[in-house]
Structure 1
């Protein structure tokens, strides 16, 4: 099998020696080409070329969720075609590795490589659904390029935390869970409009003379999930939308209040969340298996996709695409 291994040399949990061992193991079973990424977006470009070549059967992403997201966007540059595109495999090398762990892969890169080789020998794969976010027609974000995501997107508070973490990483800080907690506190203390919801969620179904049917108004944040867990706190899985799945469309966790008391309560609920129950209460709404919907804000808000901060947006249109890509598991 001809395969491309895309390696992020800055992956936080895999050193050069470990990468050499993994490459040797994969090359023993595959006709392997290894390329190390050199710039932001390089993994996307490499995966796109592999998909368009027609000769590569498998693309392996060695890195964190950001590397995986770039590879997925490269593979799906021309749209989903599961039977025609190379399959995706993941060897986790980031600090959290949500996508890989949601697929049931070990979080250790060496163990995950062993599991990948076993899956290839057994022909074990699944076709998963993904999320697609694009600019909303008629808004300032209309021309924003579409972006696929594997596990989540966020509009508002959580995206602001992601942005703060990225700023700290640019300054040389390591991506740790303690760093996320500190930036979450700073984001909350610095958010002037945290008590006033600006987001509206609407679906296109039932469009009438007055436009789309409004589902939710006056939201302070919205987290869109393509699977569950939403993230991990150390080894603890966190379930924002417990029913989210790679086999369905998209789920949404929406909050209409973000006071000090509400933040403490919902943070505690997230840490205690289970596959059966996530955050709940008067100011919490969860929506399950949405295929198409739009989030729109009265003011520009932070926006993130798979943990990648994309700046400020006033709107985003989401599509849940079932059976978008084949993955080795």
Structure 2
């Protein structure tokens, strides 16, 4: 039987961890009887997307994202509605999607999943035509994603430091939401759109979300007193965000959100500027993943 062509796309700076020696370690665990492997290192933002498109044209059978949710996003958006699966080696700051898919951050365990070759299909989401696979958001978390992208300190410590710097001066915005025809007017600290349950690092914003139900979880976080911040953190890490009086979660397929001004949005933690009006849709069963 012919070997399958597998290509590892490696983000060398994800998660603040160097990837020197990754290829040698990966080859040690990868089943060489099944796979003919190539390893490529990304050099700039969106380079993983460029490499993925090239790999698809060259007939690669499997692409592996070596990085975090942002790296996964760059590669997965090129694989939407194709027969080529995505595998993940979690090497990011939060690894939200990998944690949901129960992919270990231990290299040998993650590669053993690739050797086993079990493939599932998950949903994805679109915000104004741009894909996300874990969580998208606006408001405070989009601001933090913007600051985090500029920060030299990666990982949870760097993220928490920025949160503490910004939280006391951030002001909520007014939003009008249309969720499958239901109109809501809300003043919100932030709004997250969850395809899977957590941001990463086991912080669960949408404990009831699943990535294969054909729905997105719209999580509206209302302004809360600063003294309640530790309680909100507790809710995230105890998977009880839905029990907070400051959190409202509504499932939907087609969501339109109008906000006060155009501004930052994040898709899987990667910030970008989008229009005042955001049209969000679920793409059911649109991505094949090894898990």
Could you say which residue in structure 1 is the equivalent of 2:126?
132
From 179, 187, 190, the equivalent of 1:203 is 179
Task: Find the counterpart in structure 2 of residue 5 from structure 1.
Answer: 8
Q: Cα distance, 1:184 vs. partner?
A: 0.8
The equivalent residue for 2:207 is 242
Mapped partners of 2:20, 2:31: distance in 1 = 16
What runs of 5+ residues in structure 1 fail to find an aligned partner?
A: 135-145, 206-212
Say which SS state the counterpart of residue 131 (structure 2) adopts: strand
In structure 1, C-alpha distance between the alignment counterparts of 2:185 and 2:232, rounded to whole Å: 19
Distance of 1:50 and 1:89 partners within structure 2: 14
Q: Distance in 2 between matches of 1:179 and 1:60?
A: 26
Tell me, in whole angstroms, the C-alpha distance in 2 between the residues paired with 1:278 and 1:36: 38
Report the TM-score, using the length of structure 1 for normalisation. 0.80
Q: 1:282 to 1:16 in 2, by over 3 A?
A: closer
Following superposition, the deviation at residue 294 of structure 1 comes to 1.4
1:211-222 equivalences in 2 (<5 Å): 213-222=182-191
Q: What are the superposed Cα offsets for residues 134-186 of structure 1, whole Å, 9 maximum, x if unpaired?
A: 1xxxxxxxxxxx321111001001111111122212xxx2x122221221122
Q: Give 1:219 deviation, angstroms.
A: 2.5
Structure 1 residues 239 and 310, CA, compared in 2 at 3 Å: closer, same or farther?
same
Shift of 1:46: 1.6
- For 1:33 and 1:280, the matched residues in 2 are separated by 47
For the aligned residue pairs, the C-alpha RMSD in angstroms reads 2.1
Indicate which of 154, 174, 179 corresponds to 2:158: 179
Relative to structure 1, the CA distance from residue 14 to residue 90 in structure 2 (aligned partners, 3 Å threshold; closer, same or farther) is: farther
1:300 equivalent to 2:265? Answer no
1:48 and 1:74 in contact (8 A); partners too: yes
* TM superposition outliers: structure 1 runs of 4+ over 4 Å: none
The count of residues paired between Structure 1 and Structure 2 equals 285
1:262 and 1:294 map into 2 onto residues whose CA distance is 30
Partner of 1:73: 77
